[in-house]
Homo-oligomer: A and B are copies of this chain.
Amino acid sequence: MEAISINKFKGNAMRNRCQWRKRLKGRGYRLTISREAIINALRSTDKHLSAEDIYLTLHSKYPEIGLTTIYRTLELLDQMGIISKFDFGDSRARYELSGDYGNKAHHHHLICTNCLKIIDYTDFIDDELELLNKTQKELSGKYNFDITGHLIRFYGLCDECKEEKNT
């Protein structure tokens, strides 16, 4: 039972991870090494990469991939919901594979206002969901607004920065 469900999970994860190829082809986009490389760069880290981060990561192995292509690809993948784009306040967009296409489950962020460290957390997703549903129902009725997404985020001082302040 356990094994089966794990396999099931692995199967789904694997299926989803390769789904992007079909999604692209399905919409008439082509499969290119740039696109594959960019998705792999995002898949092989748990960090939130900027366009330049990705450019530098890939540059040694793929010197022909330009920054422009990185931007264009990220925009496309974001549009298709394959990646998520964030602004954490350091004046550059940061990206990560979104739930269905990456390893991370639905999560939110803890952001250190001092060093800009980002922590993914998945705690209280259930309680959160309850509030979100409630809120969503009420607000969509009250303002006749169709809610399609949400953003929850905590700001503060991380472990290290907290200590620094006490020094």
Q: What residues make up the interface of A, taking CB atoms closer than 8 Å to B? A: 87, 89, 110, 112-113, 119, 121, 123-124, 127-128, 131, 134-136, 138-140, 142-159, 162
A84 to chain B, nearest CB (A): 12
Contacts of A150 in B (CB 8 A): 152-155
- Shortest A121–chain B CB gap in Å is 6
CA distance A139 to B125 in the complex (A): 12
A138 in contact with B156 (CB, 8 Å): no
Taking a contact as CB atoms under 8 Å apart, the answer to whether A124 and B151 are in contact is no
Q: Quick check: B159 and A143 within 8 Å, CB to CB? A: yes
The CB with the most chain B CB atoms within 10 A, among A113, A140, A143, A153, is that of: A143
Q: How far is the CA of A146 from the CA of B157 in the complex (A)?
A: 5
Which of B134, B139, B140, B155 is A147 in contact with, Cβ under 8 Å?
A: B155
Minimum CB–CB distance for A92 against chain B, Å: 12
By a CB distance below 8 angstroms, the chain B residues around A155 are 147-151
6 A–B pairs (Cβ distance < 8 Å), ordered by A? A110-B139, A121-B143, A139-B154, A144-B162, A150-B155, A152-B152
Contact B124 A146 (CB under 8 A): no
Is A156 within 8 A of B152, CB to CB?
no
Do the beta carbons of A143 and B110 come within 8 Å of each other? yes
